[in-house]
Amino acid sequence: MNSFLPVTWAPVVAGLISIVLILVIAFVLRNVTHRLITRVVRRASSGAGNSLAGRLRGRQTVEPGGLDAVAAERRRQRAETIGSVLRPVASIVVLGTAALTVLDRLSVPIAPLLTSVGIVGVAVGFGAQELVRDFIAGMFMLLEDQYGVGDVIDVGAAVGAPTTGTVEAVTLRITRVRDADGRVWYIRNGTITRVGNESQGWSRATVDVPVAYTADVPAVRNLLNEVTDEMWSDPEYRDVVIVEEPQVWGIEQISDTAMVFRISVKTIPSCQAQVARELRLRVKAALDRESITIAG
């Protein structure tokens, strides 16, 4: 009797121990994978110090500014978004494999289960083709960094109307955009066939200055050059908002009543309106100071 229980329960105890070990290893592997993904995400999102612009200026470790700061923020957002996608995928793979292994240890035939899951997957795939297309489009959108949270994009083709707004959220299935009127658009990624991004790389502020036809052209041009030089020398704008020296392109249009001078300024993304407003204020003050008439 004393030997009956140990002999009978030995396989059961061994099976329970193996299942517990499988589950423990699965959860440990899941945690290790999540930590590895988090470490990779942090490294990818914090690699802004050694930017190309900094190296070209002869500085190996600098605080990012201007376009460097924008690129660093985009890199951080993209890395965190991809990390939020990889973590659940890793959990599903690890825990799913552990579950199948446990079922196999319990002598549950998994071949019919896998076959059934495959058939159900095919049926669901046919019924959810748009959902699959949304996920695939979202994955490529994230990998290619087409846009990110905070970007100003134009997705008129996706919603059937001219829509420009700020991206508030990006997932594998949808993109949430808020337009200038405060409306929130939920756009399926699979429907976005063409998107215009106003926040990538750099933006350009263009200011037209109409002056009277009788004005002295060289004097007006020199005055505008002085205004742009003064703004380029302002530490609040140079390499912070304005990334290149402003240019006075000269006379853009001419008529019997006015000459239109054009000023071009390259700015960090989405700051062209701010720079244009400040530039107009300075140009207006300079023209008034020199008694140069602004044409109507």
Residue 64 lies in a domain: yes
Q: Are residues 176 and 247 in the same domain?
A: no
Residue 2 lies in a domain: no
DSSP state of 292: P
Within the chain, what is the greatest distance between any pair of CA atoms? 119
Q: Are residues 31 and 117 in the same domain?
A: yes
User: What pLDDT is stored for residue 228 in this prediction?
Assistant: 92
Q: Are residues 23 and 113 in the same domain?
A: yes
Q: Are residues 208 and 285 in the same domain?
A: yes
Q: Are residues 29 and 111 in the same domain?
A: yes
Q: Are residues 162 and 208 in the same domain?
A: no
Residue 88 lies in a domain: yes
Q: Are residues 20 and 114 in the same domain?
A: yes
What stretch of H or E contains 262? Answer: strand 258-267
User: What pLDDT is stored for residue 47 in this prediction?
Assistant: 58
> CA–CA separation, 236 vs 258, rounded Å?
33
Q: Are residues 86 and 183 in the same domain?
A: no
The order of strands in the sheet holding 203-212 is: 203-212, 258-267, 247-254
CB-based contacts of 223, cutoff 8 Å, min separation 6: 286, 287, 290, 292
User: What pLDDT is stored for residue 51 in this prediction?
Assistant: 42
Residue 1 lies in a domain: no
Question: Which CATH number covers residue 17?
Answer: 1.10.287
Residue 296 lies in a domain: no
Q: Are residues 162 and 84 in the same domain?
A: no
User: What pLDDT is stored for residue 284 in this prediction?
Assistant: 92
Residue 213 lies in a domain: yes
The number of folded domains in the chain is 3
Q: Are residues 208 and 278 in the same domain?
A: yes
Cα-Cα-Cα-Cα torsion 162, 200, 77, 150, nearest 10 degrees, comes to -40
Question: Which CATH number covers residue 185?
Answer: 2.30.30.60
Q: Which of 238, 239, 214, 197 is nearest to 294 (CA)?
A: 214
Structure tokens at 253: 């249009």
Residue 137 lies in a domain: no
Residue 3 lies in a domain: no
Q: Are residues 187 and 169 in the same domain?
A: yes
> CA–CA separation, 261 vs 280, rounded Å?
12
Phi-psi category of residue 10: left, alpha or beta, with phi > 0 → left and psi -120 to 50 → alpha: alpha
List per-residue pLDDT tens for the chain, 296 residues long.
455 445 566 677 777 888 888 889 999 999 999 999 888 888 877 754 444 334 433 444 444 455 566 567 667 777 777 787 788 888 888 988 888 888 888 877 777 777 777 777 776 666 667 887 888 888 888 778 788 777 888 887 666 666 788 888 887 788 889 888 888 888 888 888 888 888 777 888 899 999 988 888 899 999 999 999 999 998 888 888 888 889 998 888 888 888 999 999 998 887 888 899 999 999 999 999 988 888 86
**Looking at this protein, which amino acid is placed at residue 158?**
A
The vertex-227 CA angle with 259 and 202, nearest 5°, equals: 90
DSSP state of 294: B
Q: Which of 112, 124, 193, 207 is nearest to 160 (CA)?
A: 193
Bridge partner residues of 209 (DSSP): 261
Question: Which CATH number covers residue 277?
Answer: 3.30.70.100
Bridge partner residues of 294 (DSSP): 211
Which of 72, 95, 127 represents a domain boundary (last residue)? 127
User: What pLDDT is stored for residue 133 in this prediction?
Assistant: 84
User: What pLDDT is stored for residue 50 in this prediction?
Assistant: 43
User: What pLDDT is stored for residue 148 in this prediction?
Assistant: 79
> CA–CA separation, 77 vs 110, rounded Å?
40
Domain limits for position 284: 203-289
